[in-house]
A and B are shown apart, each in its own frame.
Chain A
Amino acid sequence: MHEMALAEGVRSIVDNAARAHRIRGLEAVVLEIGQLSCVDPEALRFALGLALRGSAAERARIEIESIPGEGWCLACDRNVPLASRADACPSCGSHRIQPLRGTEMRVRELLLQKNRQ
């Protein structure tokens, strides 16, 4: 359940932003979680429910945007879809694929509650 540690990372990012912008309430926290990252989105959502208690995001909606995996096949010299680390290149069958996208675990943005500053 390392998702709890990740949720605490989100909490500290939210706290820092809330302090910097004097935010009291957030409407939504938007996360980007890559398909190749080591995160189970539902476990993260559960952990965030606990980790964000008492923060500006306590009542916020959690939006998790999944980023599809993509890699560069060294043999074919082109980009290929990569749903898992174990995938082979769909054209040549090589496993020598450099991931380009889909490893991210980021807080992309915070949406503020309307009518409140």
Chain B
Amino acid sequence: MGLRGGQADTEQRVIQLEQDILGVNNAIAAANRRWLRRNGILSLNLVSSPGAGKTSLLTETIRRLPDASAVTVIEGDQQTDLDAARIRETGAKALQINTGKGCHLDARMVNEAIGRLNMEPASLLLIENVGNLVCPASFDLGEEARVVILSVTEGDDKPLKYPDIFVGASLMIVSKTDLLPYVHFDIDRVTEYARRINPDIACLTLSVETGQGMDAWMEWLEKRRSTFCITAADGDPGLVPFFT
């Protein structure tokens, strides 16, 4: 932070800052990521429009995992704890964050949540963001990977219309493929569009209803978990860094 310009009344005094508007969020996100990594907790930030089937995918995913108690879900919604209740029915831990009028989760909300959650080391943390393809794009939560879910009823041009959410995402899941006979949705086209925005994005298609593609998704998840480096081998979980 520098101060330039003289003291004379006629001169313009300037304070140079060059500070990132998201600097505080990014610092908290970095602390979240450090803590999660130290504890070997793989964290995914799931983003989509409202109604793309995030919660259904989560409940089915947890059902297929060998140990539901090794899964924790943070649910972001403007109102209600309906989603957290659906997750708890599977046996997984769930914490609901209501953002009120807020349109996205931010790193501080996730920081507070992980402080309250008592997660097991080497477990899985699934963060279901507020349904919105725009606002969550700017906010790093400290997750290991972002997963974008797009249902076939939304249209295959979404990656071009909402590019920011695809930037930096590791995986795009095209959901509700059982509805493909009833809608105009081209899987090849959506994949091509998503890779225009993000050439490295992985793409999977699935249907929670029929189970199509669920095995491939579970394999992706397992591969991610097995390659995720567990650095907390000494068993010291460390303290959650609080920023409240």
Contact = CB atoms under 8 A, between A and B. Distances in A.
Interface residues of B, number: 39
A93 to B, nearest CB: 11
B221 interface: no
Q: Is the interface of A mostly helix, strand, loop or mixed?
A: mixed
A111 B14 CA distance: 5
A112 B23 CA distance: 23
| Best-surrounded residue of A1, A2, A20, A88 (most CB of chain B within 10 A) | A2
Nearest to B135: A2
B9 A115 contact: yes
B18 interface: yes
Contacts of B13: 111-112, 114
B239 interface: no
B199 A38 contact: no
A4 B167 CA distance: 22
A105 B21 CA distance: 6
B10 A114 contact: yes
A11 to B, nearest CB: 10
B104 A112 contact: no
Interface in A83-102: 84-86, 88, 95-96
B16 to A, nearest CB: 5
A31 B156 CA distance: 35
A-B CB proximity, top 8 nearest: A2-B135, A85-B163, A112-B13, A9-B21, A110-B15, A105-B21, A95-B196, A38-B164
